[in-house]
A and B are shown apart, each in its own frame.
Chain A
Amino acid sequence: MPEQPGGGGWDETPKWLAPRPTPEDGEYWEGARRGELRIQRCTTCGMHQHYARMLCSHCGAQTLEWVTASGAGTVYSFTVVRQNGVPPFNERLPFVVACVDLDEPGARMIAAMPECPPEQARIGMRVSAAFRPATDEYGFVDFAPAG
């Protein structure tokens, strides 16, 4: 594990943050556990979405299929969280959280970038997904500078 900007590790996830996978979104969480970024693609309009829904948030059609995203994306914006009173985040400060536009059109996600030093974070930087398995049922998707 590369050295992280904050003090604490990202391996432990508190129970209150544990996702409760459902028939609707289980595929995303299970994918994250096994190292795949699973998002939905609409076969009617061709656009993608994250998180999983019954209908396409772009065109409204109910013609969604699961696809595996490339994991590549571009930082639309980011912040460096320097104050967060809640464990375990208070032990990880400071850390970068980014809003990432995936290369698949229409899909955007908020993700932690635990391996990105705060001073290196930039809007427009290319990033790639990094997976953090948590339990047998789910994992989390982080991003890291591409390269």
Chain B
Amino acid sequence: MQRRVCVVGVGLSDGPKTPDMSATMLEAQSFRRALDDAGCEKRDIDGLASAGYGGMHEVMLAEYLGLTPRWTESTSVGGSSFEFHTMHAYRAIQNGDVDTVAIVYGNNQLSASGRTLGTGGGGGRGGMAMPLPMAYEFPTGLTLVGAYAMAAQRHMHEYGTTPEQLASIAVQTREHATRNPRAMYRDPITVDDVLSSKLVADPLHKLDCCVISDGGCCLILTTEERARDMARTPVYVRGAAGGTTHHSINAMADMTRTAAATSGPKAFAEAGITPRDVDMFAMYDSFTYTVLVVLEDLGFAPKGEGGAFVTDNGGNLRLGGALPTNTDGGGLSCTHPGMRGLFLLCEATRQLRGEAGDSQVDGAEIAVAHGSGGWLSTQGTVVLGTEAA
């Protein structure tokens, strides 16, 4: 009989700007806060996952934190890495390979590098080795934002999606951020504000793009049995799946469809749910288009109708809408320290515990956290639920 797996602790570091903290300090601070949240101790952690800094980072982090884990995980597939970590930890805990796993990420991207991630020419600058496909793309001047922009442009061409519909995602997400004191940007914005912000790469404007911040996050998972001895109401992992379709945008066969079209149905089937059952959605909003295409791929809207879904009903991503989305203000307005996948799981957990304050989705019992990594390359879906769900 497989063991049931729960999220028992979440921790957020200081943020969104922490010029006096290194990436590792942000990781350590969020780890400590997650331990305190769970009501467990460092000695209870026998598994550690992290990603984002090249080889053996999780091993270095284990040493820094004074951990000697029997299970480590470092799947590094971009911003969705942490949905993959959760999936792998879920399976490993189910099967008894490990009991209690901490997934940790932190980055001082804003303080260390400024806002250059999306338009800085990618990793090749300064003679760093370029991954093979990038040797062909970087010399064209294409940016990370530009790659997503191409995909958005194709969706607009095929389905008539409009810049106004994309902008509405940013507007609704900002509305959530106005209620979150931790959010980087908290002033309400309008569709006109988005459309009159600078075009970075057509059709994406500055306000269609996520922020760059500092920040760290930690999630602690354990067995249902151990969760009973901990401080918080456990949130259950109900299903998880991932998928990869390409690395560089050149190899994305259909720019209007991501691997979420396969990871979503698989995770939902495992959880025994349909899209209609989802009370709250934590979606990796690297760009407004990322949200729109994945809403379709996960089945919240038919293919091509994501734009209408977003704006219908006065805005379906709002509190009270069909699918309250990124209730902390998302990457678009709250926090995006290079990779955001772990923060999605944290916000989904907060909602299912009923701890989201002014942004609480009433009676939330099922939440989906979905990460998108690379250039829409890797997609990971995790379904979380309350015990009653």
Interface residues of A (CB under 8 A from B): 13, 15-17, 19-20, 50-51, 76-86, 89, 92, 95, 97, 99, 108-112, 118, 123-124, 140
List A contacts of B198 (CB < 8 A): 82-83
Q: Does B250 make an interface contact (CB < 8 A)?
A: yes
Residues of A within 8 A of B139 (CB): 13, 17, 19, 112, 140
Question: In the complex, which residues of chain B have a beta carbon less than 8 angstroms from the beta carbon of A80?
Answer: 199, 201-202
Chain A residue with Cβ nearest B143: A84
Residues of B within 8 A of A77 (CB): 150-151, 153-154, 157, 255
Interface string of B94-120 (1 = CB under 8 A from A): 000000000000000000000010011
Question: For window 133-158 of chain B, which residues contact chain A by CB distance below 8 Å?
Answer: 133, 135-143, 145-146, 149-151, 153-154, 157
Distance of A89 Cα from B139 Cα, bound (Å): 9
Contacts of B203 in A (CB 8 A): 79
Q: Which residues of B contact A50 (CB under 8 A)?
A: 136
Q: Are B121 and A84 in contact (CB under 8 A)?
A: yes
B200 within 8 A of A: yes
CB distance from B175 to the nearest CB of A (A): 26
- The answer to whether A79 touches B136 (Cβ under 8 A) is no
Question: When the two chains form their complex, are residues B157 and A123 in contact, meaning their CB atoms are under 8 A apart?
Answer: yes
Complex Cα distance, B145 from A83, in Å, reads 9
Q: Which residues of A contact B302 (CB under 8 A)?
A: none
Q: Can you add 13 more A-B contacts, CB < 8 Å, to A51-B132, A79-B201?
A: A15-B127, A79-B142, A79-B149, A79-B150, A81-B146, A82-B201, A83-B145, A84-B119, A89-B121, A97-B140, A99-B150, A118-B202, A123-B157
Q: How far is the CA of A82 from the CA of B37 in the complex (A)?
A: 44
Is there a chain A Cβ closer than 8 Å to B126's Cβ? yes
Q: Is B125 on the interface with A (CB-CB < 8 A)?
A: yes
Are B121's CB and A110's CB within 8 A?
no
Closest chain B residue to A21 by CB distance?
A: B135
- CA of A133 to CA of B280, assembled, Å: 53
Q: CB distance B119 to A110 under 8 Å?
A: no
B194 → chain A, closest Cβ, in Å?
A: 15
Asked if A19 contacts B141 (CB within 8 A), the reply is no
Beta-carbon contact of B157 and A16 below 8 Å: no
CB distance from B116 to the nearest CB of A (A): 6
The reply to whether B119 and A83 contact each other, CB–CB distance below 8 Å, is yes
Q: Whole-angstrom distance between the alpha carbons of A95 and B145 in the complex?
A: 14
Q: What are 28 sample pairs from A and B whose C-beta atoms fall under 8 A apart?
A: A16-B126, A16-B127, A17-B138, A19-B135, A76-B154, A76-B255, A77-B157, A79-B153, A79-B203, A81-B146, A83-B145, A83-B201, A84-B119, A84-B121, A84-B143, A86-B120, A86-B125, A89-B141, A97-B141, A97-B142, A97-B146, A97-B150, A99-B150, A99-B250, A99-B255, A108-B251, A110-B248, A112-B139
Contact B153 A83 (CB under 8 A): no
Q: Which residues of the other chain, B, contact A99 by a CB distance below 8 angstroms?
A: 150, 249-250, 255
A-chain residues with CB within 8 Å of residue B125 when the two chains form the complex = 16, 86
* Contact A109-B255, Cβ < 8 Å, known A77-B150, A84-B141: no
Looking at the complex, which one of A51, A76, A124 makes contact with B133 (CB distance below 8 Å)?
A51
Given A17-B138, A77-B151: A82 in contact with B199 (beta carbons within 8 A): yes
Interface assignment of B314: CB less than 8 Å from any CB of chain A: no
List the 3 closest pairs (A to B, CB-CB), nearest first: A86-B121, A79-B149, A77-B154
Q: Which residues of chain A come closer than 8 Å to B121, judged between CB atoms?
A: 84-86, 89
